[in-house]
Amino acid sequence: MMWLLGFASIGFGQDWTNTLEAVKPAVVSIQVNATRSFDTNSAGFSYATGFIVDAENGIILTNRHVVTPGPVVADAVLLNNEEVSLTPIYRDPVHDFGFYRFDPDEVQFLDLVELELAPEAARIDTEVRIIGNDAGEKGAILRGTLSRLDRPAPVYGRGRYNDFNTFYIQSASGTSGGSSGSPVLNIKGQVIALNAGSKRTAASSYFLPLDRVERALGLIQAGLPVTRGTLHATMTQLPYDELERRGLPEDVEARMRQRFPDTTGLLVVDKLVPAGAADGILRPGDILVGVQQAPLAAFVPLEAALDDNVGRPLSLQIVRSGVEMSVEVDVADLHASSPDSYLEIGGGIVNDLSYQKARTYGLPMEGVFVASTGYALSRAGVLDSAIIIEVDGMPTPTVKDFEDIMAAVPEGEAALVRYFHPNNPSRQFVFPVEPDREWFPMQRCTLDPETGLWPCAPSPSPPPPPDPQVVSTTFRMPRDRVARKLAPSLVMIDFDIPFRASGVYGATFRGAGLVVDAEQGLVACDRDTVPIRLGEVMLTFASAVQVPAEVVWLHPEHNVALLRYDPALLGDTPIKSARLNTEPLHEGDTVWQIGLGADETVVARKTTIERRRPTNLPLPRTPFFRDSNLALFDLESVVPSVGGVLTDKKGRVQATWASFVDLSDDPSAGLQGMPARVLKESINSVNQTSLQTLGVELLEVNLADARRLGLPETDAQMLDAHDDARRILAVSRLRAGAPAVNQLRAGDLILTINDQPATRFAEVEAASRGERVRVEVFRAGERMTLEVPTMPLSTQGVERVVSWAGALLHETPPWVAIQRGVEAKGVYVSWYWYGGPAARYGLRGTRRIIAVDGADVNDLDAFLEQVRGRRDREAIELTTKRLDGRVEVLTLRLDLEYWPTAELTLGANGWVRREQ
């Protein structure tokens, strides 16, 4: 059953209680998921309000910024909590209103009610009620009184969506977030305005008049297009006293006052879009007094004339510098000035520069607007909201032009992109941009007005990559004698990450590397420079030549990554393998700190080992790789660098000068010396896919503290005789799932390893490379000998990730087990994107999915099997477990249209992307 709500039709008395009870079934809560950043809108999820204006056809009126200018997935929740899916059918290019459609047949348990639009009933001092989802509270009711009918449109911020060329209605009612799109009702139950915005610093709400809304609704109901015309000009109303100072003739003023006795001013041209419809015909400051020879003093008749004359000339009567005249302007199609397609490139979004943006910044409507940089554009240095005007010297006035040029860029190559930021158009930048199709598909998506969807078409396939170019160079030798030995072994590393896998805390990393095998092209660096395998590595030699590399090996416990490049690409460049000296360093030893400065020059300083100390890094706030069981070196004095090595006087590497990052709060990194023995083990193990480990974290305990813990004197003397550092090792943490969990305990004091005294991390680690370790410990006043099996830890890192429902999934990283005591099982949620179902329904990072619709999933294959074949918009129940062990159940509705499943797998030839 459907009802038209209005005082006359329902017949209740003038009582707000009756009115509100009658209108409530027509008001809906709208859940809005903007799936992509587009034009003035950012991707993300929000709540808003709408109301039914046509129950038979299922049409809901709300704000434009609720319908959004781009791709959107939305649902409406009715008064009785029934949920219906919404299809966007209209968003006005300028004014803050739009329409959704739902299927009335989906509603089973509620009689639908529609509200009557009555724009003519909006009068000053009218008491009103606003019913909606104020501050997210469903069915909230606010009261107010209309105080102004001619308020300027609210300004929401530079570069954001802003309404213009209309008056707004003001009321002291103080609406807030969630009430966007609420009906403004009079006591008869008529909608006399549309709630649009509010002022945070005062209890003021701003309502959109319904004159143009009513027209648009009528055309939609009749199945006709909603024509919208524009002059690409912004008008403002100025009072007569100001107009007199601007030269308004007295007789014209008298005529206009007589014709419009209730108005206090006239419309004036404020801004013109360069190269727009009225540019060169109208001028800022022109006073409008007529349209098509009819007197004019308000926005509505002007817009009516524009909307009825799209593509035709329009006669305007104006006063310019005190002279009354008539001009003729060709009316442009306003819808054509709003972008209806976007290009996905390198994980970013670009669209045509819109009228909204061009008007804000005073720019012509040409160029490609960067709505979201994503991976490829941000990697190249392009900024969000930039405007791309040229690629490889060819202009890009539209997204289609940009796509055509970028599609012709060979795979693995880059194009020179010229852009500027609209805040400073006079300053232009040029950066090389690689489309990066390896990670992200390149495709253009265009609005289908019939479905409200934005289906995507793949961009043309790129040409094959050219043969790699061989380039030779030489090294600029530093003055320091020892540094000259290392200069041909140092390389600058840039590492860019397209997907935030494994809890990685950034997307761009830079540091120094060391060539350890020039013949094989093997380079070593720390894991703060190359933290994971999923990314792109570029090596720069001598600040002159750049070659790609791949990550081939990651130490599972220590701060070492190994990379490989093709030496043939460097021709005759005299690269040398660094020599190692694994003799232990001691406090007071003289070393040379040699590395690369931020400007890639070789820096060097003769210095002294100040002290040796264990890593003792705090636990990361988000689980991530963290070194442990290692003693590091500090220097008395250092030369600023991005990393390097510590050498003896012969230039042999005794330690790497590596970056260790503290992730317990905001990331902060410091450089310390790491013994060369760790580097040597890594090089020797480069072909091993795993290393055996005992599965414990150890800490150093002073011998005096150990005695207070009850360590027998004979053991204390034995350990003291073994190592004059007067420290012993104690178990700090155990890796969940390791065999050691069943035998060792936190607090155990280590006495011997394989029957030999052990007081150094290196001694325990060396013994742990076997399959079993005999560990003698002191626990609770008792000595005990334990046979502890070791366990393998992968040196390959994450080799497979899945993008599903807007979340990045992979196997649970191994460090979760040691840092949080959680077995590395289940499907780990590493990242989520705004605009995806994961963000909307609360599937957050660090959660582990352990069941799908009640079926257990222990790994990625089991998970994919459970979700394979699901329908678009189908609801799925996920059982997840937090790091603290709490189990949570959430439901998630799929969005396969905008967030299809894709898998990235590391193979012999690199990473391969496959759509599911």
**Quick one: average pLDDT of 189-195?**
95
pLDDT at 177 over 60: no
Q: Which residue has the tokens 């009261």?
A: 143
- How far, in whole angstroms, is CA 593 from its chain's centroid? 39
Q: Where are the alpha helices (DSSP H) in 738-786?
A: 761-768
Catalytic residues: 65, 96, 179
Quick: pLDDT tens for 132-161.
886 556 778 888 899 989 888 888 888 889
CA dist 450 → 98, 335, 741 (Å): 15, 16, 61
Q: According to the model, what pLDDT value does residue 141 have? A: 87
Q: According to the model, what pLDDT value does residue 3 have? A: 39
Dist CA 686 CA 795 (whole Å): 9
Higher per-residue confidence, 362 vs 412: 362
pLDDT at 200 over 80: no
Q: Which residues contact 250 (CB under 8 A, 6 or more apart)?
A: none
In this structure, the dihedral spanned by the alpha carbons of residues 247, 248, 251 and 257, taken in order and rounded to 10 degrees, is -150
pLDDT at 671 over 80: yes
Dist CA 698 CA 721 (whole Å): 21
Contact criterion met (CB below 8 Å) for 659 and 528: yes
Dist CA 852 CA 228 (whole Å): 48
Q: According to the model, what pLDDT value does residue 411 have? A: 87
CA dist 826 → 170, 497, 578, 850 (Å): 54, 24, 42, 5
Quick: pLDDT tens for 858-877.
999 999 999 999 999 999 99
Q: What tokens were used for 147?
A: 């105080």
Quick: pLDDT tens for 529-574.
999 999 999 999 999 999 999 999 999 999 999 999 999 999 999 9
* E strands present in 717-771: 727-734, 749-753, 756-757
Dist CA 109 CA 477 (whole Å): 82
- How far, in whole angstroms, is CA 449 from its chain's centroid? 28
CB atoms under 10 Å from CB of 773, counted, come to 20
Q: According to the model, what pLDDT value does residue 352 have? A: 98
Give the DSSP letter of residue 665. S
**Quick one: average pLDDT of 192-214?**
83
pLDDT at 2 over 80: no
Q: Which residues contact 466 (CB under 8 A, 6 or more apart)?
A: 410, 413
Give the DSSP letter of residue 29. E
Give the DSSP letter of residue 279. B
pLDDT at 178 over 70: no
**Quick one: average pLDDT of 699-710?**
94
**What percent of the chain is modeled with pLDDT above 70?**
97
Higher per-residue confidence, 368 vs 153: 368
Q: H or E stretch including 718?
A: helix 713-722
Higher per-residue confidence, 343 vs 138: 343
Q: According to the model, what pLDDT value does residue 383 have? A: 92
pLDDT at 909 over 90: no
Q: How many helices (H) and strands (E) does the chain have?
A: 18, 60
**Quick one: average pLDDT of 102-108?**
95
Provide the residue type at 68 as one letter: T
Dist CA 716 CA 875 (whole Å): 63
* E strands present in 805-847: 807-811, 827-832
pLDDT at 173 over 70: no
CA dist 166 → 302, 439, 915 (Å): 10, 45, 47
**Quick one: average pLDDT of 2-29?**
68
pLDDT at 251 over 90: yes
Q: According to the model, what pLDDT value does residue 135 have? A: 55
Dist CA 794 CA 815 (whole Å): 11
State whether the Cα torsion 857-860-866-870 is positive or negative: positive
Q: Confidence class of residue 442 from pLDDT cuts 50, 70 and 90?
A: very high
Quick: pLDDT tens for 631-663.
999 999 999 999 999 999 999 999 999 999 999
Q: Which residue has the tokens 């997907």?
A: 499
Q: According to the model, what pLDDT value does residue 175 have? A: 58
Contact criterion met (CB below 8 Å) for 874 and 839: no
Provide the residue type at 237 as one letter: Q
Dist CA 230 CA 314 (whole Å): 11
pLDDT at 330 over 80: yes
**Quick one: average pLDDT of 215-227?**
97
Dist CA 547 CA 551 (whole Å): 13
Q: What tokens were used for 824?
A: 């590395």
pLDDT at 419 over 70: yes
Q: Which residues contact 391 (CB under 8 A, 6 or more apart)?
A: 402, 405, 406, 415, 416, 417, 418
Q: Confidence class of residue 43 from pLDDT cuts 50, 70 and 90?
A: very high
Give the DSSP letter of residue 487. G
pLDDT at 11 over 60: no
CA triple 136-137-138, angle to 5 deg: 110
Dist CA 607 CA 655 (whole Å): 13
**Quick one: average pLDDT of 471-499?**
96
**What percent of the chain is modeled with pLDDT above 90?**
90
Helix (H, G, I), strand (E, B) or coil at 877: strand
| Least confident stretch, 166-175, 307-316, 447-456, 618-627 | 166-175
Neighbouring-strand partners of residue 113: 3
Quick: pLDDT tens for 807-827.
999 999 999 999 999 988 889
Q: Which residue has the tokens 């490379």?
A: 769
Q: Which residue has the tokens 């325990």?
A: 764
Provide the residue type at 817 as one letter: A
pLDDT at 904 over 80: yes
Give the DSSP letter of residue 362. T
CA dist 903 → 389, 423, 438, 577, 915 (Å): 34, 39, 12, 37, 6
pLDDT at 349 over 60: yes
In our burial notation (b when 16+ CB lie closer than 10 A, e otherwise), range 703-731 reads beebeeeebeeebbeebbebeebebbbbb
Phi and psi dihedrals of 258, rounded to 5? -70, -40
Quick: pLDDT tens for 374-386.
999 999 999 999 9
